[in-house]
């Protein structure tokens, strides 16, 4: 039906232009071009048949609750107030004008803040930096908090993850760590600090390479994860970057990984767009369609099909589950997104008891 409808529209369009040429043969070319542009069909918005629509539908089919539900969840104790506002408006309110971007490991002044903001905004990535001057920091925070349009939310990893689980679990604090949630900066920092794989990289060049990320995740779990000879309980890492997620787990300790990684990616799209479900017209699929699973050894090449969006591979007792993210085109709220991703993925994970 859609094919016939498109053909009918095209035929009507040709007939209309032909009639104009017959009746007004001297019509200027610019007028004809304007007429043609106004009559052209607009591209159809993404729908259920688009890659985004098919991927969202596949997620909905994959995401199922784990067989063993969480009864108690322990998170760390930290909380703050997040102030959400336009970074450009804050710089203007601070009397700063756009200049050259530059990364600073520690911020000492307003100018350092401006340079770091421009540096990371140009790369399209988030960043966290320590501000050394207490008084200057409080002045900036006060100005930001009082700007028109500034919004205030509960912040802090523990508070946000606790909110996610509060309706389903009792909250109890203990020191054992079985699972980590990391973004691309945190993952690379960790490898650099301990001379791990690809630690010679100063920063990621655009989208983090899947094979490199996989190598670092494998190294963390093999060298610092749970084993008979090591006092560590770490068996799970949920890596998230803007366009894809990877869930890496030590075999035998976790189940329901397909649902977990899909749920974490799905909430990235819904929370950023402030929608209850994925709206295919408001998101875009930007993840690499094919990639190598490793660069430290002979990895395999994987091609992603939106109808089967979770790819799985294994390496020496570690399982990897990859899924693209449907990136919100016009995000409404990104603050706390990483914590929401980690919490959602963990909620759909099933921990297997080991006695």
Per annotation, catalytic residue among 112, 215, 279, 339 = 339
Tell me how far apart the alpha carbons of residues 194 and 340 are, in angstroms, rounded to a whole number: 28
Tell me how far apart the alpha carbons of residues 324 and 250 are, in angstroms, rounded to a whole number: 22
| C-beta of residue 235 within 8 angstroms of C-beta of residue 331 | no
Contacts of residue 199, Cβ cutoff 8 Å, sequence gap at least 6? 188, 191, 192
- In 3D space, the residue among 207, 180, 168, 220 whose CA is nearest the CA of residue 345 turns out to be 180
Chain centroid offset of residue 67 CA? 27
Burial degree of 324 (CB within 10 A; 0-12, 13-18, 19+)? buried
| C-beta of residue 182 within 8 angstroms of C-beta of residue 191 | no
| C-beta of residue 261 within 8 angstroms of C-beta of residue 251 | no
339 as an active site residue: the answer is: yes
Tell me how far apart the alpha carbons of residues 336 and 164 are, in angstroms, rounded to a whole number: 11
Just list the catalytic residues.
339
């Amino acid at each position: 039906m859609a094919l016939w409808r498109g053909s009918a529209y095209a035929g009507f369009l040709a007939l209309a232009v032909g009639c104009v040429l017959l009746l007004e043969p001297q019509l200027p070319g610019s007028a004809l071009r304007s007429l043609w542009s106004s009559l052209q069909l607009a591209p159809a918005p993404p729908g259920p048949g688009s890659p985004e629509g098919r991927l969202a539908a596949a997620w909905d089919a994959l995401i199922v609750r784990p067989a063993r539900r969480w009864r108690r969840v322990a998170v760390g104790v930290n909380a703050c107030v997040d102030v959400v506002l336009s970074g450009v408006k804050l710089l203007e309110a601070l009397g700063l004008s756009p200049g050259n971007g530059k990364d600073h490991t520690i911020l000492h002044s307003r100018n350092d803040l401006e340079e770091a903001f421009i540096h990371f905004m140009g790369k399209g990535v988030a960043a966290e930096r320590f501000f050394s001057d207490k008084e200057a920091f409080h002045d900036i925070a006060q100005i930001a908090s009082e700007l028109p349009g500034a919004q205030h939310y509960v912040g802090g990893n523990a508070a946000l993850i606790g909110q996610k689980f509060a309706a389903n679990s009792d909250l109890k604090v203990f020191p054992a760590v079985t699972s980590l949630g990391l973004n691309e900066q945190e993952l690379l920092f960790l490898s650099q600090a301990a001379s791990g794989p690809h630690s010679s990289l100063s920063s990621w060049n655009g989208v983090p390479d899947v094979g490199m990320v996989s190598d670092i995740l494998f190294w963390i779990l093999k060298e610092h994860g749970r084993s008979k000879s090591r006092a560590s309980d770490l068996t799970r890492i949920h890596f998230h970057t803007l366009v894809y997620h990877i869930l890496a787990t030590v075999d035998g300790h976790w189940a329901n990984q397909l649902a977990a990684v899909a749920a974490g990616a799905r909430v990235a799209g819904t929370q950023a767009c402030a929608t209850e479900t994925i709206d295919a017209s408001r998101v875009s699929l930007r993840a690499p369609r094919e990639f190598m699973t490793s660069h430290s050894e002979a990895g395999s090449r994987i091609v992603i099909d939106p109808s089967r969006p979770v790819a799985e591979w294994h390496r020496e007792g570690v399982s990897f589950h990859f899924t693209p993210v449907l990136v919100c085109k016009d995000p409404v709220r990104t603050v706390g997104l990483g914590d929401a991703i980690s919490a959602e993925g963990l909620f759909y994970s099933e921990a297997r008891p080991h006695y």
